[in-house]
């Protein structure tokens, strides 16, 4: 999390976004945080973790955790087949895999296209939302993915107090 995004959340929003779907909802994340998109494969389960943490995978020698967003936010059906996609996110020092229903598009969004989000309407806590955007006919929920993934709620990172 850079200070810029905290100080002025609007600053980082102009740019390209990757949109993906979870159930009926369409989400958008900053494409610069995306390292790659790959199929769901060979995930090693980790004991005694919440169900949405699917386990870890081997990403070219690096052990990377995988989160199923469908389970985390109870959206869509969590099925795993050859069409299941995983977005590999590169969040500063950390790499995280995120399972979604499907990846849709890469869209360019300008500042004024992203409107502030109301307090409801998404499964995500609004503190992780940057706003709502209209993409063609559809509406995309723009998510601050780094803030979400590094949050305590996701349990992906040892919180200082918990160590």
Partner 1 sequence: MNIDLSQFHQVFIDEAYEHLGTMEQLLLALDVEDPSLEDLNAIFRAAHSIKGGSGTFGFSDIASLTHALETLLDKLRKQTLAVTDEMISAFLSCCDLLSAMLEAHQDGSPVDEAQIEVVRAELLRLGDESVVLAEPPAASETTYAEIESVTAPIWLIDLHPQSDIFSGAASIDAVSEDLAALGQLSVINQQPNSHISWRLQGPEDPDVISEIFAFICQPSEVTIQPELRDDAVEEDEGFGFFVDEAELPAQQAQNEAEQGFGFFVELDELPANQAAAQEQQQGYGFFVDEASLPVASSSADAISNQPMQKSQVSLAQKNRSETPKHQAETSIRVGVEKVDQLINLVGELVITRSMLAQSASQLDSVEYESIHNGLVNLERNSRDLQEAVMSIRMLPINFVFGRFPRVVRDLTQKMHKKVRLKLVGEETELDKGLIEKLADPLTHLLRNSIDHGIETPEIRRAAGKPEEGTITLSASHQGGSILVEIVDDGAGLNREKLLEKAREKNLAISENPTDKEVWQLIFAPGFSTAKEVTDVSGRGVGMDVVQRNIAEMKGQVEIESIPGVGTTIGLRLPLTLAILDGMTLRVGKEIFILPLTRILESFQPEPEQLKTVSGKGRVVQMRGEYLPLLELYKTLNLEPEVTEPEKGILVVVETNSDKVALFVDELIAQQQVVIKSLETHYRKVDGISGATIMGDGRVALILDIDKLARMHSTDNQLQKG
Hey, which residues does 58 pair with through a beta bridge? 63
Sequence-ordered list of residues with C-beta below 8 angstroms from that of 77, at least 6 positions apart, any chain: 70
Region of 3-11, 21-29, 117-125, 155-163 interacting with partner 1 (CB under 8 A) = 155-163
Under rule CB under 8 A, residue 71 binds partner 1? no
Position 48 contacts partner 1 (CB under 8 A): yes
Is the distance from CB of 58 to CB of 89 less than 8 angstroms? Answer: no
What is the rounded CA–CA span in Å between residue 69 and residue 156? 13
What does the block give as tokens for 87? 């977005």
Q: Does 57 bind partner 1 (CB under 8 A)?
A: yes
* Residue of 5, 31, 85, 94 that binds partner 1 (CB under 8 A): 94
Listed residue (42, 36, 79, 72) closest to 57, CA to CA:
42
Number of amino acids touching partner 1 (CB under 8 A): 25
Binding partner 1 by CB under 8 A: which of 5, 9, 31, 56? Answer: 56
Site membership for partner 1, residue 38 (CB under 8 A): no
Give the interface segment with partner 1, choosing from 28-36, 56-64, 74-82, 118-126 (CB under 8 A). Answer: 56-64
For residues 9 and 146, is the Cβ–Cβ distance under 8 A? no
Please report, as ranges, the residues that interact with partner 1 according to CB under 8 A. 42, 44-49, 55-58, 60-65, 94-96, 155-158, 163
């Amino acid at each position: 999390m850079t200070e810029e995004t905290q100080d002025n959340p609007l600053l980082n929003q102009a740019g390209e976004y990757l949109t993906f779907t979870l159930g009926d909802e369409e989400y958008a994340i900053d494409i610069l945080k995306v390292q790659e998109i790959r199929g769901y494969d060979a995930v090693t389960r980790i004991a005694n973790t919440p169900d949405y943490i699917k386990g870890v995978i081997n990403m070219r020698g690096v052990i990377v955790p995988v989160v199923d967003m469908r389970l985390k936010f109870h959206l869509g059906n969590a099925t795993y087949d050859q069409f299941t996609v995983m977005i590999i996110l590169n969040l500063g020092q950390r790499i995280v895999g995120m399972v979604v229903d499907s990846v849709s598009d890469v869209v360019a969004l300008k500042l004024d296209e992203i409107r502030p989000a109301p307090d409801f309407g998404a499964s995500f806590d609004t503190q992780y939302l940057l706003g709502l955007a209209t993409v063609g006919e559809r509406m995309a929920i723009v998510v601050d993915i780094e803030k979400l993934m590094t949050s305590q709620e996701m349990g992906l990172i040892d919180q200082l107090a918990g160590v």
